Chain A
Amino acid sequence: MFANLSRNDWLLFLGFSLVVLISPWTLTPFGAGYPALLQKFCIFGIFALGFNILFGLTGYLSFGHAAFLGVGSYAAVWSFKLFTMNVVPSVIFGIAAAGLFAVVIGFISLRRSGIYFSILTLAFAQMSYNLAYSVLTPITNGETGLQLTLNDPRIIDNAFAAPGAGLPQTNLFGIDMSGYPGFYFCAGALIICFFLTMRIFRSPFGMMLRAIKSNQNRMRYTGFNTKPYLLTAFVISGMYAGLAGSLMAATDPLAGAERMQWTASGEVVLMTILGGVGTLVGPVLGAGVIKYFENIFSSFNEGTLHATFAFLPDGLETVAVKLAGLFVGDGWHLTLGVIFMLIVIFLPGGIMEGIARLAKLAGVKRKSSRAELSAGSAQPAE
């Protein structure tokens, strides 16, 4: 399993792991060095990595991937409620539930391709969301979201120890999963997922998926049954989403229906395109950028802006605060919109293309990044 990776891939993998593991220190100057956001970086990184296995490799654009994330979350929280606060079973349940759900939806949706496939996945996700919000409230707790309560059975935990007074914490064999330990758990999962994704990208299976994206007809006349390939990719990427969902529950034991809404599915599409479709690292970068903006830009308020521009003369300061105020705080959506437009207009290959261009400018010809890019193929599919 560990054989056959090229030296460049090992370097990429080790570099990636290192960057993830030291991110609490490196991201602190940017205001992102706190556990909740770092956890989100990892979780959405996993979500986007998985989405990219489907979209980046096969070109099938699912517009309902958030449904799997939601199912993973619900399954994980139910595991906390019914069995144990240990995160390992909950993660397993989350992945399994999302995987099963993906088998069903994938089997039906993959009967169509192109935009018809997209709309089918969208329809299933929206149905899941609407039902979770209303009729399925006994399972999902509707708008409030599924939460832990004091009188949950938790049969495994309660078999070994008397329940404490308050709500228990999620844990990994005794280590609390909030704060930095939670981040390192997610980071571990992200690194494993990255490794698996890299294996898939470099494997014959990944090659077949790329070939399907390039010319599905040729694949059929070349003797491949493309349906199981597509379904496998769909289910794998659904399981990644399920893992991401269960990690969300592990670090913060709540599952809300809005995780399944179309906007959430749209978000992962945007993360992937922003980072670079079909590239290995791109989707993780895209996820990071979007989550960073959501959390950091929205937190700016007039007070912080005034502090920021305090060095300017009074009149200028007011103007600067007014201008910047358009883009931060409640205007962070505007910034996001502008960034989407700029990236698509000037960097169609996403952030990874930007990096590649910079590398070229600097005259650095790193083989790995070139291989990375060509593997991704510069053209995102429809």
Chain B
Amino acid sequence: MDAIIIQILNGLDKGAAYALIALGLTLVFGTLGVVNFAHGALFMLGAFCAVSFNALLTWPIQPPKAEGQLFAPKAIPFMEHQFGELGAAIVNWSVPLSILIAIPVMLAIGLIMERGLIRHFYKRPHADQILVTFGMAIVVQEIVKKIFGANPIPQSAPDIFNGTANIAAWLGMTDAFIVYPWWRLIYFVFAAAVIGAVFAFLNFTTYGMVVRAGMRDRETVGLLGIDIEKRFTVVFGIAAVVAGLAGVMYTPILPPDYHIGMDFLVLSFVVVVVGGMGSLSGAVLAGFLLGILQSFASMNEVKSIFPGIDQIIIYLIAVIILLTMPRGLMGRAGVMED
């Protein structure tokens, strides 16, 4: 029983991560009709916003090398050197703080990308879009590798979020042992908040409603004299920010390296397609579904019945859903079917 509750919790958490990544992808596809293979790279760039911010804060102040010493002694982080205790505290909170950096940076990257490149590919075949965004993903990735190396760079969550929350106590189960890491709970809440914010933006603001109308019928909205193109640019920027924030907050869970975006790319596409192309709620639903099923498939009890099921569960579910529901969970007809 405890094991099942933990796996449900874990599935929700995983699902939140998948949904958050898939959300941006769907947003771009739904509004611009562009298949963005560079979405993973945006996630990676977000993670490296956190890395760079931390690197800046901890810029090493090198104590002088003693005579006869081959390697310099351990450096003191810049912030600590300059501001003592307060500085150390800021360094400690660098991951959440880097959100403040990531939002403008990712927005800028998104806008530049859309204006400079994606815009010219609206009318081009999807194959071209895939190739050009994939090429860009490789370029971005290689540049990051040149700067930061290929090794993962660990980022830690603020100290007070280290350790685990005692879920059993919350649920009033006295003899059960259910704990869950604080940071993962925070990631879940954060993801839910971001997803909620995007939905609220699209559903409850006039700006968002026009965008949504544009997703369904771009020409008509264009005829109404609204500059829908400009709004789509903004939407691309938002998608980039969403991907970037997902990346920032993920760094304490998975030490980021230059390749982390590619690792998520295929998965996020599967999530989007299972959800149904162009459906935001479908993407979120599929994210949670796949996350929970993946958690369950990894349980020893399940694996002993179906060996290797945890390796393929995501793809197996994708196949089953696509065969029973032609357009995924909530896809619209005619989108990317020809």
Interface residues of A (CB under 8 A from B): 59, 61, 108, 111-116, 119-120, 122-124, 126-127, 130-131, 133-135, 216, 262, 266, 269-270, 273-274, 277, 326, 331, 333-334, 336-341, 343-345, 348, 379-382
Residues of A near B245 (CB, < 8 A) are none
Q: Known A116-B273, A116-B328; judge A108-B323 contact (CB<8 A).
A: yes
- CB contacts under 8 Å to A, within B107-143, are 120, 124-128, 130-132, 134-139, 141-143
The answer to whether B61 has its CB under 8 Å from any CB of chain A is: no
Q: Which 3 A-B pairs have the closest CB atoms?
A: A340-B135, A337-B138, A135-B308
Chain B CB within 10 A, most for which of A114, A266, A344, A381: A344
**Cβ contacts A to B, 9 pairs, < 8 Å:** A115-B273, A116-B326, A116-B327, A216-B338, A269-B130, A333-B138, A334-B138, A344-B131, A345-B132
- Indicate if the CB atoms of A124 and B315 lie closer than 8 Å: yes
- Indicate if the CB atoms of B135 and A341 lie closer than 8 Å: yes
- Indicate if the CB atoms of A119 and B323 lie closer than 8 Å: no
Expressed in whole angstroms, the Cα–Cα distance for A30 and B138 within the complex equals: 25
Residues of A near B126 (CB, < 8 A) are 115, 382
The answer to whether B146 has its CB under 8 Å from any CB of chain A is: yes
- Nearest-neighbor residue (CB-CB) of B273 within chain A: A119
Q: Known A340-B138, A345-B120, A381-B125; judge A331-B132 contact (CB<8 A).
A: no
Q: Known A123-B315, A262-B266, A339-B135; judge A273-B322 contact (CB<8 A).
A: no
Residues of B near A135 (CB, < 8 A) are 307-308, 311
Expressed in whole angstroms, the Cα–Cα distance for A122 and B277 within the complex equals: 16
Q: Shortest CB–CB separation between residue A179 and chain B, in angstroms?
A: 33
Contact of B127 among A339, A343, A380 (CB under 8 A): A380
Residues of A near B89 (CB, < 8 A) are none
Q: Known A116-B273, A273-B131; judge A341-B139 contact (CB<8 A).
A: yes
- Nearest-neighbor residue (CB-CB) of A326 within chain B: B146
Residues of A near B277 (CB, < 8 A) are 115-116
- Indicate if the CB atoms of A338 and B139 lie closer than 8 Å: yes
User: How many positions in chain B have a CB within 8 Å of any CB in the partner chain?
Assistant: 42
- Nearest-neighbor residue (CB-CB) of A334 within chain B: B142
Expressed in whole angstroms, the Cα–Cα distance for A337 and B83 within the complex equals: 43
Q: Known A270-B131, A339-B135, A340-B131; judge A116-B322 contact (CB<8 A).
A: yes
Residues of A near B131 (CB, < 8 A) are 270, 273-274, 340, 343-344
Residues of A near B318 (CB, < 8 A) are 119-120, 123
Q: Known A119-B322, A262-B266, A273-B131; judge A114-B338 contact (CB<8 A).
A: yes
- Indicate if the CB atoms of B270 and A123 lie closer than 8 Å: yes
- Nearest-neighbor residue (CB-CB) of A382 within chain B: B126
The answer to whether B56 has its CB under 8 Å from any CB of chain A is: no
- Indicate if the CB atoms of A336 and B311 lie closer than 8 Å: no
Residues of B near A216 (CB, < 8 A) are 338
Residues of B near A341 (CB, < 8 A) are 132, 135-136, 139
Q: Shortest CB–CB separation between residue B41 and chain A, in angstroms?
A: 10
Residues of A near B274 (CB, < 8 A) are 119
- Indicate if the CB atoms of A344 and B132 lie closer than 8 Å: yes
The answer to whether B316 has its CB under 8 Å from any CB of chain A is: yes
- Nearest-neighbor residue (CB-CB) of A118 within chain B: B273
